[in-house]
Every structure is written in structure tokens, then in C-alpha cells.
């Protein structure tokens, strides 16, 4: 069983993530104290349990109760279960905008500013972030983007397989903070400057053929896939089964998209991998 623990920064999208898991057939419980999370996991695995999949949303407010989330995760593992920890976050400016839009105060704000509350929360949750299976930065994501990211990240939580997300992006929109590896393909000629290709995207054959047909493209992709293979072996040895690889170009429309699609195609040939390809900035201007 893979009980899912959804946690992260207040305003990072925890409630939205809970709804997504409910739509996927999970029994979702929100704001449980740490000591009750283990009880819920044990109840859900009993012979008479009415649920097959369980997810728990917990945030920094749980600190008011005895026990810590780190201790709870350790006890879940000791019980023979394999918890999946999903951590959501966003940049400070976006979190501030989200709190202002709903006229709420931050749970750790006290008499200080909202920014101080966010800083305290980041520090307090850092140990959990360090052991998270997947970290999703929701800064530039809509509700639909978050759904796609979660679905791509968790797959079916298949045991014995590593899940690799290949995410194209544009550097002008910022690098994805949740990526474990980032590569830059701006050394390839930009189809944007070819007038007949400008309005196409990297998922379209004319652009894909142009990008992948460059002399430097094939050696780079071949070497990168080989390097990534050895890196994934190392991650597996360290118990990390969810990896996000960012591939960036200037705007995230052409080169990074075409290369991401090709890297994903080659990785899917490896039976031990579950591969998803996302294009973060494909529709952005």
C-alpha cells in the first residue's frame, strides 16, 4: 500500500491537491494531527476497510499537537507501508498574492508580516521537504496544470518502477524549482527565427524535424540519455523513485519541447521506467 501524505506551504495548493486525489478514488482526510495519521493508515489496511487508497493532507498547523510529521512517516514505514510524500510550494510573491486574494492571515504570521510567516513555515517544513518523493512548484500553475503535474508524478504509484517526468520550460519564465536535473538546449538553433516555423511548436513535426535534425542534436540527446540512465541508477540506490528532469530553452515553445519529447520517447523503451512528458510553457507568450 502507498498511503499518500500531501503537505507543503500554506497557499501552495494543498486543498486543490486533495480534490484531485478524491477524483482519483482516494479517501482523503484533511488536517489530521500527526498521531492520527498512522491510525488512519492502519484502519484503511484492515480486512474490513471500505477504502483501497488513502491520502492525508497535513500542514504546519499540525505542530500544535504532540508528535511530528517526520516521526509519523518513520512509524508508517516501520509498519511495513511505503508512504508517498507529495510536497507543494510556491514563490513568496505568489503566496502573498494568494493570501491577499482570500483575505487570510498566515498560520505562522503572528503579529509580524505575511512574508515573515512564510519564511518561518519554509524553515519549519524543510526536513519534510528533504525527504519528499515529489516536490511541485505551483507558482505558475493553474488548477488544470496542477492536476496534470500530480497525475504525471504519481502515475499509479507502481512498485518496482521509477517514475521520470520530463518537463520542458522556458528560461525567461524561470527554471522549475521542483526539477532534480536541469539541462539547457539553447545551444541549438532557434526555430523562432525561421519564419515558416515560428507559429509551430516543438510537438509539431516541422519544428521537431528541424530541431532534431541539427548536427549537434543527436550526439547531445544520445549522451544525455546515457548519462541520465546512470543517474537514475544512483537515485534508485538512494531510494528515490520519482525524478523530474527539466529541459529548457528561451521561451519553452520549440527546442526544449522537441528535445523533451525525444528524450521521453527513448526512455519509454526502458521497462523499469514509467515516463511522462510535460510542457510547462507551451501555451505561454
DSSP the chain: ---EEEEE-TTSSHHHHHHHHHHTT-EEEES--HHHHHHHHHHHTSTT-S-S-EEEE--GGGGGSSS-HHHHHHHHHHTT---EEEEEE--HHHHHHHHHHHT---TTTTTS-HHHHHHHHHHHHHHHHHH-SEEEE-TT--HHHHHHHHHHHHTT--TT-EEEEEEEEEGGG---TT-SEEEE-TTSPPGGGSGGGTTS-TTSHHHHHHHHTSTTHHHHHHHHHHHHHHHHHHHHHTT--EEEEEEEESSSSSHHHHHHHHHHHHHTTSTTEEEEEEETTTT--
C-alpha cell at 121: 513555515
CA distance 195 to 74: 57
**Tens-digit pLDDT string for the chain (285 aa):** 689 999 999 999 999 999 989 888 889 998 888 778 888 888 887 777 788 789 999 888 776 666 688 888 888 888 888 889 999 999 999 999 988 887 788 888 888 888 999 999 999 899 999 999 889 999 888 887 888 888 777 665 555 678 899 999 999 999 988 888 999 999 999 999 999 999 999 999 999 999 999 999 999 999 999 999 889 888 887 767 788 999 999 999 999 999 999 999 999 999 888 898 999 999 888
Q: 153: closest CA among 249, 274, 9, 26?
A: 274
In this predicted structure, what is the pLDDT of residue 1?
62
- Please return the burial class of 275, using the count of CB atoms within 10 Å of its CB with bins 0-12, 13-18 and 19+: buried
CATH, range 4-154: 3.40.50.300
Residue ranges, CATH 3.40.50.300, the chain: 4-154
62 labeled binding residue: yes
Residue 178 labelled as part of a binding site: no
Whole-number pLDDT of residue 61: 77
Q: What is the structure's pLDDT at 63?
A: 66
204 among annotated binding-site residues: no
Q: pTM of the entire structure?
A: 0.66
**Residue matched to cell numbers 477504502:** 51
Amino acid at each position: 500500500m502507498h498511503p499518500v501524505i500531501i503537505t507543503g506551504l500554506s497557499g501552495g495548493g494543498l486543498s486543490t491537491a486533495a480534490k484531485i486525489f478524491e477524483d482519483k478514488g482516494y479517501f482523503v482526510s484533511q488536517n489530521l494531527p500527526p498521531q492520527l495519521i498512522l491510525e488512519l493508515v492502519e484502519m484503511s489496511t484492515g480486512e474490513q476497510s471500505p477504502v483501497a487508497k488513502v491520502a492525508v493532507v497535513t500542514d504546519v498547523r499540525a505542530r500544535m499537537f504532540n508528535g511530528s510529521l517526520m516521526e509519523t512517516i518513520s512509524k508508517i514505514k516501520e509498519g511495513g507501508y511505503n508512504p508517498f510524500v507529495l510536497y507543494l510550494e510556491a514563490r513568496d510573491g505568489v503566496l502573498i498574492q494568494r493570501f491577499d486574494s482570500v483575505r487570510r492571515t498566515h498560520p505562522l504570521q503572528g503579529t509580524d508580516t505575511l512574508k515573515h510567516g512564510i519564511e518561518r513555515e519554509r524553515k519549519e517544513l524543510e526536513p519534510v521537504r528533504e525527504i519528499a518523493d515529489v516536490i511541485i512548484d505551483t507558482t505558475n500553475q493553474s488548477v488544470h496544470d496542477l492536476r496534470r503535474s500530480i497525475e504525471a508524478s504519481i502515475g499509479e504509484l507502481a512498485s518496482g518502477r521509477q517514475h521520470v517526468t520530463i518537463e520542458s520550460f522556458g528560461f525567461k519564465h524561470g527554471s522549475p524549482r521542483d526539477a532534480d536535473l536541469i539541462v539547457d538546449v539553447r545551444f541549438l538553433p532557434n526555430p523562432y527565427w525561421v519564419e515558416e516555423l515560428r507559429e509551430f511548436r516543438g510537438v509539431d513535426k516541422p519544428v521537431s524535424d528541424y530541431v532534431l535534425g541539427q548536427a549537434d542534436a543527436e550526439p547531445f540527446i544520445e549522451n544525455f540519455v546515457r548519462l541520465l540512465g546512470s543517474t537514475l541508477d544512483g537515485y534508485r540506490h538512494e531510494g528515490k523513485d520519482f525524478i523530474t528532469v527539466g529541459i529548457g530553452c528561451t521561451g519553452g515553445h520549440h527546442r526544449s519541447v522537441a528535445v523533451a519529447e525525444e528524450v521521453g520517447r527513448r526512455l519509454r523503451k526502458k521497462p523499469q521506467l514509467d515516463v511522462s512528458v510535460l510542457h510547462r510553457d507551451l501555451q505561454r507568450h
